[in-house]
Structure 1
Amino acid sequence: MVVENEKIAGETIELLEARLRRLEYFLTGDTHWTGQPTAAPKPETFDDTVARRLMRLNSALESLGRNVPAVQDVLQLYSRFPDLFRTVPAQTIPASLTTQNLASIVLSYASAFPETSSRLTSLNDLPIPEPTLSASLIELQPRLGKLIQIQERQAKEVSDLRTRSAWLLQRWYEVGLVGSGECWAEWEARLEDVDREIKREEVVCLRKANEI
């Protein structure tokens, strides 16, 4: 009995060690030349531990649920209808579907199989770009950001110039055309008054000359 318990304890420890090595590989993604996963680095401070990070994440999620109405609606929907958020495993086939229904579903996607295969083959045929080209594109990113800012500023200036041009054109119509037309009309009226006065004076002078 003691030997069997020791065997069970040893197997349990081995399984726990295997799970621990798998978790270390998930965290680091690196292994030694022997195939053993590299141990995860120890946190520099207490705030960098997994427990503290999970606590901060949980606090951020709670704050998000309190402050964002859309998240509140989703949480309420989950609390009322949790079945909507359960994913059906790919291996599980609904019992309500007959063989004919399943065949029709598979046949409806039959045309997508060769298309997907050709696309995957074309991806394999595509050459991988040189790392220097990718690095040069990354180095150009700050310059592109500045150019985008300059372009936005120029677009704003052009919009302001269009607004000012429209205002100047309206002002020219009001002052140059309408105003000058009113001025000519006023001058014409004043000339008509002067012409009328001159004719009246001529008539008066002509009468005086006839009387003499």
Structure 2
Amino acid sequence: MHPSGSQHPRARLRLRIPAPEPHHDIPSPVASWTGTTGTRAQGSNMDNPLDRTTLSTITLLESRLLRIEHLLYGPTASHPPPQHGSAVRKLGELERRFSVMLSHVRVYGELLKIYMSHPDFFHAPSPSEPPWQLSIDALRSIVLASASTFPSTLSSLTAIKDSPIPDTSESAALISMTERMRAIEATQVAQASDMAELRRRSEAVMRSWYEGSVLANSRFMADAESRVERVERQVRRRERVMEEEKVI
């Protein structure tokens, strides 16, 4: 069974693996597929360029499929050696193995669907080729919108080209100061650590002074004020009693 939404496995294989040119040499497995026994007595039909191209394409298809199976299943995956048979039978066997792989590895099927719908994700187009998703009018509008930046870009590139190359002695002097710069960096790190320690100690001193002096004085003043208030209340109460006694 093929995954839903995916194209025919044989079509995918043909799209991903172009047939070799007719002048290429025939791979070694071709002899076993033609049914020969090591001699060319029964393989006279292999002189046809179309036959050579067909068998070479099938060989490349199987090698690509074996490589994918090795990546997905590991080196333990094994397949029986190719049997004598026609090209149609070999293609059917490759299609069956490809279908089994897609049914067992769902992620690979999803990747194939993404590749078929968005091939640019895997193979970026050449910068000299315009995007195939855009129409001629869209490309024209993009070019016209960016036309005003061409002179400024050209002048910037010209200025960069005319800029003199710095003297190598300055670069050599800067490189020779690398060890000194590293020592300065280490000194800065040590100073930062010392400053952090000083901040921590200053915070501890300020907390001790605040808790030992300021808070203690505040508590003393609050206690004194409360005692003064109590004395004032008693004095006013005593004065009121004395005034009442005078009236009587």
TM range (shorter): 0.3 to 0.5
Name the TM-score, length of structure 1 as normaliser. 0.45
Name the TM-score, length of structure 2 as normaliser. 0.39
When you count helix as a share of all residues, which structure comes out higher?
1
Tell me: higher relative CO, structure 1 or 2? Use CA pairs within 8 A at least 6 residues apart. 2
